[in-house]
């Protein structure tokens, strides 16, 4: 709590970060990242956060943010590794048979780089991190090379100020002391078993190499002599506190020790390549699998930066590096997701099939099911993937919600309702599942229940109110749309801002057998997608301001009930499904 204190809410055992954080330097403000993307109350805490901000939890297979047990604080095992054997032997009165205690890791006995790795597991923070094949957020053990656990990547030669270990490595003090009997390292200044040092204590490590008498002699004719008296505070000038851009009101000690008035030491090391990201570990520059992890890192970077060209280049590099190697399941999985985002569905299917061939993890089965839906694969095959994923981990509510959409689209309403309710019982914050359940209930004539569920969905995500003003009742006979009409909003007391006469909006066609999008700019594509990114239909618009849609999917089947989003895109093949502005509308079938 020295910098800030953030809060979580618990929803059926899942941890979600709340939008507001208390900052000691600024009071209440957004939690980091909320000023960019307002996740409201749905920001699930991923394992990677807890891996540094807590002790090892008792995890649940294939599930993030929910744990069988969550010990408080950061415990001894974070730095010393598993301690059960150590505790058992000491409790039984068994003492070590040598100076070296073989029952537990003591970092002081590790080689220099391995000691640094113990600290770097949490005190190197790069914008892109890719876990190695077969690793998870909690699988690093002290004494292992950290580079065997994860690949870290910087952006444009920079690194976050909170990456204390990397900033220290840039310091001349660190470099000059590498060959010394006692080289400079994190523990030179920080004793992990004691409270933070006082201001005077923080100067002591500096005086070990820079004695006051030596400084007086070196700076005898310098104006800086007055600033280097024995009582001067070295850290204040040579390791000042600086604002970290990603943490509101957060200032941190810059561990790059240097003379700030020296222009030669004004900026960090220059970037080594023209790639969008640069490896932190040497093995990711020159190792046998360097191309694989560089490409994986670039896919992660491109997805976050919404850069379609980098995504396309990285996918092609990863495809060449992996070939048909199904032993790298995580690489094939990430490649499949990249191709799916690029709209290259056949390539996505091939990569995802190889990832499942390596290991049928629930998330991979789910991704393959969605890819199969995009190419019109046999419904029985898709259903088997959903069922197997949920058999492996029934608590994966987002997969169950997509399975409910799948059943809903096939008219299996009772099963779909059961799946929606099961998903919401496990994770009540699934706003799209809440909305689609309401659409299903409205289709069966249960309008009072439907209104309650629509209201619950809007409470979870106020943006969905927009869809209630563009809610259409579609009648279908077999594979033929026989009629459509606009429904009044099920929440008549809800004030919704009009999109305006000149905005793109959707209305019922004069024929009554489809809908029309009006005020659509010519020369682009209007893409209809489900909120999970699954494309439904691309409508090319040549001329005029009106674009008609017959309410059929790309496969010629009537559109299913539920929530949809319409987006104008310039390049249908390259644009990510959520890259462009659009608006919601909804179908009751």
Measured distance CA(14)–CA(436) in Å, rounded? 22
Q: How many whole angstroms separate alpha carbon 185 and alpha carbon 177? A: 9
Question: Residue 40 has what pLDDT?
Answer: 85
Contacts of 214 (CB under 8 A, 6+ apart): none
283, two tokens: 């093995």
Top pLDDT among 502 and 265 is at 502
* Separation between Cα atoms, residue 115 and residue 112, nearest integer Å: 5
- DSSP secondary structure letters along 460-501: H-GGGHHHHTSEEEEEEETTEEEEEEEEPPS-TT-------T
Cα 487-488-489 angle, rounded to 5 deg: 115
Q: Which pLDDT does position 62 carry in this prediction?
A: 95
Give the closest residue to 276 by CA, choosing from 239, 304, 236, 238.
304
* pLDDT, position 578: 40
User: Cα-Cα-Cα-Cα dihedral of 262, 266, 268, 273, to 10°?
Assistant: -110
Range with lowest mean pLDDT among 150-154, 222-226, 290-294, 529-533? 222-226
Dig out the tokens for 269 from the structure: 């090391």
Q: Greatest CA span in the chain, whole angstroms? A: 95
* Matching residue, tokens 């091939």: 350
Residue 493 has which token pair? 């007391």
Contact 337, 567 (CB under 8 A): no
List residues bridging with 517 in a β-sheet.
506, 547
The pLDDT value given to residue 243: 77
Dihedral sign computed on CA atoms, order 543, 544, 545, 551:
negative
Q: Taking the C-alpha atoms of 510, 511, 517 and 519 in order, what is their torsion angle to the nearest 10 degrees?
A: -40
19 close to 38: Cβ distance less than 8 angstroms: yes
How far is Cα 536 from Cα 405, in angstroms, rounded to an integer? 13
Q: Give Cα separations from 67 to 82, 110, 289, 375, 425 (angstroms).
A: 19, 32, 33, 36, 17
Q: How many CB atoms lie within 10 A of CB 100?
A: 8
For residues 452 and 491, the answer to whether their CB atoms sit within 8 Å is no
- According to DSSP, the residues that pair with 558 across neighbouring strands are 552
Whether the predicted pLDDT of 264 surpasses 60: no
Give the whole-angstrom CA distance, residue 323 versus residue 325: 6
Q: Per residue in 108-133, pLDDT tens?
A: 999 999 999 999 999 998 889 999 99
Give the Cα separation of 341 and 348 in Å (integer): 9
Q: What is the pLDDT of residue 512?
A: 80
Q: Is the dihedral of CA 328, 332, 333, 338 positive or negative?
A: positive
More confident residue, 294 or 217: 294
* pLDDT, the chain, mean: 90
| b/e burial code for range 40-63 (CB count within 10 A of at least 16 → b) | eeebbbebeebbeebbbbebeeeb
> Quick check: 562 and 589 in contact, CB under 8 A?
no
Q: Are 295 and 318 in contact (CB under 8 A)?
A: yes
In the chain, % of residues over pLDDT 70: 95
Q: Which range in 199-213, 384-398, 537-551 is most confidently predicted, on average pLDDT?
A: 384-398
Q: Are 205 and 185 in contact (CB under 8 A)?
A: no
């Amino acid at each position: 709590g020295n910098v800030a204190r953030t809060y979580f809410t618990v929803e059926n055992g899942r941890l979600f970060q709340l939008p507001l954080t208390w900052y000691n330097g600024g009071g209440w403000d957004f939690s980091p990242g909320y000023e960019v993307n307002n996740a409201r109350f749905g920001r699930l805490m991923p394992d990677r956060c807890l891996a540094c901000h807590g002790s090892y939890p008792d995890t649940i297979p294939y599930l993030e943010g929910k744990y069988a047990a969550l010990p408080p604080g950061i415990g001894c095992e974070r730095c010393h590794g598993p301690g059960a054997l150590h505790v058992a032997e000491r409790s039984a009165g068994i003492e070590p048979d040598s100076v070296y205690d073989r029952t537990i890791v003591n970092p002081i006995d590790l080689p220099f780089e391995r000691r640094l790795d113990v600290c770097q597991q949490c005190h190197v923070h790069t914008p892109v991190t890719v876990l190695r094949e077969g690793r998870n957020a909690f699988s690093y053990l002290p004494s292992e090379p950290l580079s065997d656990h994860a690949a870290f990547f910087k952006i444009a030669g920079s690194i976050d100020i909170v990456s204390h270990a990397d900033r220290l490595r840039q310091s001349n003090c660190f470099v000059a002391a590498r060959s010394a009997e006692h080289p400079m390292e994190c523990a030179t200044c920080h004793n992990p078993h004691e409270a933070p040092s006082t201001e005077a204590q923080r100067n002591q490590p500096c005086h070990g190499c820079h004695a006051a008498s030596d400084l007086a002699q070196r700076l005898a004719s310098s104006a800086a002599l007055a600033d280097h008296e024995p009582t001067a505070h070295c850290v204040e000038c040579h390791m000042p506190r600086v604002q970290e851009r990603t943490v509101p009101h957060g200032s941190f000690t810059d561990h790059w020790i240097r003379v700030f008035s020296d222009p030669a030491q004004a900026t960090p090391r220059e970037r080594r390549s023209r790639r969008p990201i640069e490896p932190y570990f040497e093995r990711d520059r020159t190792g046998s699998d360097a191309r694989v992890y560089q490409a994986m890192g670039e896919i992660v970077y491109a997805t976050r930066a919404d850069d379609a060209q980098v995504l396309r280049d990285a996918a092609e590099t990863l495809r060449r590096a992996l070939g048909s190697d199904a032993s790298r399941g995580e690489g094939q999985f990430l490649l499949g997701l990249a191709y799916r985002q690029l709209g290259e569905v056949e390539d996505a299917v091939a990569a995802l099939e190889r990832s499942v061939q390596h290991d049928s993890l629930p998330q991979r089965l789910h991704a393959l099911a969605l890819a199969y839906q995009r190419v019109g694969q046999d419904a029985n095959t898709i259903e088997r993937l959903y069922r197997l994923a949920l058999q492996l981990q029934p608590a994966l509510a987002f997969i169950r919600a997509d399975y409910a959409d799948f059943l809903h689209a096939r008219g299996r309403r009772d099963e779909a309702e059961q799946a929606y309710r099961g998903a919401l019982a496990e994770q009540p914050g699934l706003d799209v599942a809440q909305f689609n359940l309401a659409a299903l209930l409205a289709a069966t004539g249960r309008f009072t229940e439907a209104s309650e569920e629509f209201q619950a969905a809007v409470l979870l995500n106020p943006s969905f109110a927009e869809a209630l003003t563009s809610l259409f009742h579609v009648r279908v006979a077999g594979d033929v749309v026989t009629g459509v009409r606009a429904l009044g909003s099920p929440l008549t007391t809800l004030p919704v801002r009009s999109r305006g006469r000149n905005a793109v909006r959707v209305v019922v066609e004069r024929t009554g057998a489809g809908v029309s999008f009006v005020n659509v700019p010519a020369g682009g594509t209007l893409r209809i997608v489900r909120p999970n990114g699954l494309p439904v239909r691309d409508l090319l618009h040549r001329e005029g301001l009106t674009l008609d849609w017959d309410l059929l999917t790309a496969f010629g089947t009537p559109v299913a009930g539920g929530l949809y989003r319409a987006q104008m895109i310039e390049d249908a093949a390259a644009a990510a499904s959520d890259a462009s502005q659009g608006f919601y509308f909804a179908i009751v079938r």
